[in-house]
Structure formats: C-alpha cells, structure tokens
Structure 1
Amino acid sequence: MPELKNFVAVDWRSGKDRCYFFFKDTNTYSRYNNSDNTVPPDHPALVNQDNWGAFHKHVKNLRFGFSTDRIVGSDRLGWDADVLWLFYYDQATPMVCEYDQDSDVVVSFIPVSESIWSLLLPYFDNIIAGTFWQRPFRVKGETLFRFILNNGKYLSLDWHSKKLVIADITDTTWPGLALYATYADQFITAVQIEGDALTHSYLYIFMTGNVYLKYNISKKRLENGGVKNVADHWNGLIRE
C-alpha cells in the first residue's frame, strides 16, 4: 500500500461539506465527500487552471490551509462568504491566497506580512495546520483559531482582538493529544470536519505511516483511543 506523504488537507464549507487533499509530489488532488465518506473514482486528478484557477501553479509550494465563514473576508465577499485561505511560498516569500469558495475563484494573492494573518509570520515554517476553533459556548466577539506546530506546540489566535498565544500541547490545553505531541515532527497535515458544534466538530490529524488521530474539538478529547489507519475511514484516499 502506498504511503501518504507531503500532502496538505483543507476543508470546504460552501455547498456540501467536503475536504480536499493536495499531493504536492505529483501535483494532484483528491476530493473527499463528507456525506458518504468517499473519494470519487476519477481522483486523484491533476491540478490545473480548470479546477483550481490561478492558484494551481502554487500547489507544489502549499504549506497549510483552512476555511472561514462570515468572519474573515466577509466585507468584500458578503456576510455569508465561505473563504479558503491557502498559505504557500512564492520563491522565498510566505504568501496567502484568498479563495472564494462560493464563486470558486481566486480573490487575491498577498504576502503574509501584509495580510490579515501577519501575526502568523514568525511561525510560518512550523505550522502544519490551522482550524477555526469551534466551541459550543463562545464569548461574544471571540473568534478563535488554533494552529498545530511541528514541535509539540500550538498557536491560539483570537482574530478580532489580534491576540496570539503560543503554548505547549498538554493534557490541559489539548486533553488526550499530549501523548502524541512528542511525535509532532511526524504530523503532516490536519483538517476539520464540522458538525453540530454542541456535539461534534472533529479535527483529523494525519501522521506518517498512513495513520491519523481524531480529535473532538467540541468535547475536548481524543476519539477512538489513538492512532487509526487511514484506509479504515478515508475510503479511496489511498489508491495504487
């Protein structure tokens, strides 16, 4: 069985929820349909202008990505905008692409240093994934994101207050995940699958060796007792 490596997973919130996996070594991608837990039979497919527009030429340098809705970028795209933020290198410059999911087009390419995500710049090389930190009882005006680093630490960003905190992954900050924080250098990417915020909003963390962790954001716990094989859940993601 081939081993998944050097790939980036991102969530997609517009329309039917799904995930995309970008395989940088082969310049291909797969769509994972959350509703039926399958990858279409014609995937992985080559990344090109027709499916990823002007961003297609940057996929090989993609670092991480995540989606937002109604929170960030909505002034330009509308109150109910669904935006995918794709972070990558253009030569030696950390960049971010704002991708409008509703229209399926690139909105902009901006250096991270000049973007609304500039606070992330000092940690750019260490971030393996970011996600909206969905909580059932959120303080009014609070918009939290978390970013997993490859050194056993994480970032917590309150986007509205522009407060950024770096801390260790522990049993207090990430109950259940601390045991695996010592293997953070084996984390490849992660993606959020959003459900009912009161009961289940999951972050799937992919590691080397075709295994993954399932973290319940809403209930602050690691599900399924630890690492699981990708082939047992992500149907069609690994193909010969």
Structure 2
Amino acid sequence: MDLDVPLNNINKTERNQTMRTLKNVVAVDWRSGKDRYYFFFKDTETYTRIDAEYRNLPDGYPASVNSGNWDSFHSDVKNLRFGFSTTNIYRFDGQEAFDRDYLLLFYYKGETPMCCWYDQDDDKVTRRRPVADTHYRPILPYFDRIVAATWWESFGVNWIGKKSPVRFLMNDGHTFMFDMYEKNVRLEPIDERTWPGLAPYKDRILTGVQNDRTLAESLFHIFLTDNEFMTYTIPNGELVHGPEKVDENSWPGLLRD
C-alpha cells in the first residue's frame, strides 16, 4: 500500500493525542521480513516503528531505545548521524553476505566517525569499525554535513561485486553518489537535474528513508522541517509528490509523542 493512499481508520482518540514537531530525527529502512521504517528521536533516545505495507504504528511505540530492542547500539543512538539498509554486497571476516540484510548506522564515538553493521536477519550488532577503516572512508570529508542516505540500487545489479551505489544528501545544498566498488565521490548541487523540486527546500532536509517495494519502483521519502515530506522514485529519481504534510493520514503515528 502506497503512502499517499488516505487512511480512513484513525479514531478520534488518536487524532487528539499530543503531536510532535520533527527535529533531530534519523530514519532508516528495514528489509528483512516485512518492510518497516524506524525513526530515531535522538533528543529523547526513543524510536518509532511504522510498518510499510499497512502504514500502521504497532502498539508500544514510541519506545525507549535499549539493549532489548537495539542490542549494543542502544548506547550510541544519541550520536547517530544517518543510516541505510543494504543486501547481498558485503564480505568480511570470512563471512558470506549473500541474501543477508544489513542496516548500516553511522555515528560518532567521541570525535571518531563510526559505522555499525546491524544484521537484520539475526537482529543484532555484528561489527563496528571507524569509518576510516571501511569501504566508506571516502565520505569522511563530508560526514558532518550528511543528513540522509539511501542505497540507490538499480534493477538486477544488487549482487556481490556489482555496482551498489549509495546516494547522500547534505545540509549545504549538495548531493553525491558513492559506490563502494568504485571508491569515488562526486559532489553535485541539489538542483532540477539531481533532485527535481528539492532545491527550494535544500536547507530544510532532516532525514530520509526508502520504501523497498517488491513489485513496483522503490520510493525515497525526504523529510523536511515544518513536518513536511517529499517522495522520489528509485532509481529514476523522479518527484512523485511533495512537499506534503506529515500527519495521521500520510504517516500515521509518526508525530505521536
């Protein structure tokens, strides 16, 4: 079910609940099993889960981030910068990553940019390393300015050794694509060619999250200040709609405090 389909089963009590203003939030996608979105609210060290298929907020959210739900990463959520999910592209320490889903979480440990691999299939942290010691070291000069990232997979090329680009958005009006197999970074301005329609809102970007749809184009949702969002197709990068309001129709439960 797409996010722009109206939701009609929101009761009056839910509409009257306290609503938050989105800020200092990091969104990530979850590919293992049913697709989900997770939103980390760093100021309160809480998170919300929204199930993509039915656009519903399960009972018990927002919830505190702790070792019972985010393994050892819970202690670093307040320093989280951005994150995204990938699959089928990693080999490390003798492990085969075929058909494994990983959530990569980028954060600071003191003054050191770090990367945490979170295995979605086993629901646990599998490794942590300084970004300087990973395939992602070329993004280090831009680390402080990155506000959103997503795996920008093309149809039929998401296999080990094939192109696996990640697309980044920064808070200074620039964007770039990085492919871990090519090890190059090319900065480009956010404009009508790179992100149609986003340029007027380039200073308002908070975070972004992908909807990995199986039988249709994947979507990338970019969240802006003032509780608004925009939606793009992957891999064509076409604007679907936006800015539109984040509310109980478009993102039920996301603004509940």
TM-score normalised by L of structure 1: 0.91
Aligned partners of 2:28 and 2:37 also within 8 Å: yes
* Partner in structure 2 of residue 228 of structure 1: 244
Structure 1 letter corresponding to 2:255:
I
Deviations 1:10-38 (A, max 9, x none): 00111111111100011101111001001
Deviations 1:128-187 (A, max 9, x none): 11111123476993221110111111111122122221111222222x23xx32432211
* Residues 1:81 and 1:31: Cα distance change in structure 2 (over 3 Å): same
* Partner in structure 1 of residue 35 of structure 2: 17
Aligned partners of 2:147 and 2:207 also within 8 Å: yes
Structure 1: runs of 5 or more not aligned: none
1:77, distance to aligned residue in structure 2 (A): 4.9
* Partner in structure 2 of residue 144 of structure 1: 165
* Residues 1:157 and 1:235: Cα distance change in structure 2 (over 3 Å): same
* 4+ residue segments displaced more than 4 Å: 137-140
* Residues 1:104 and 1:186: Cα distance change in structure 2 (over 3 Å): same
* Partner in structure 2 of residue 102 of structure 1: 121
What root-mean-square deviation, in Å, do the aligned CA atoms of Structure 1 and Structure 2 show?
1.9
Aligned partners of 2:117 and 2:128 also within 8 Å: yes
TM-score normalised by L of structure 2: 0.86
* Partner in structure 2 of residue 79 of structure 1: 98
* Partner in structure 2 of residue 119 of structure 1: 138
Structure 2 letter corresponding to 1:142:
K
Aligned partners of 1:73 and 1:81 also within 8 Å: no
- Aligned equivalents of 2:125, 2:151: Cα separation in 1: 21
- Correspondence for 2:229 among 212, 220, 226: 212
1:2, distance to aligned residue in structure 2 (A): 2.3
- Aligned equivalents of 1:137, 1:52: Cα separation in 2: 31
Residue 224 of structure 2 corresponds to residue 203 of structure 1: no
Name the SS for the 1:22 alignment partner.
strand
Deviations 1:108-139 (A, max 9, x none): 11111111211111100011111111234769
Tell me the percent identity. 43
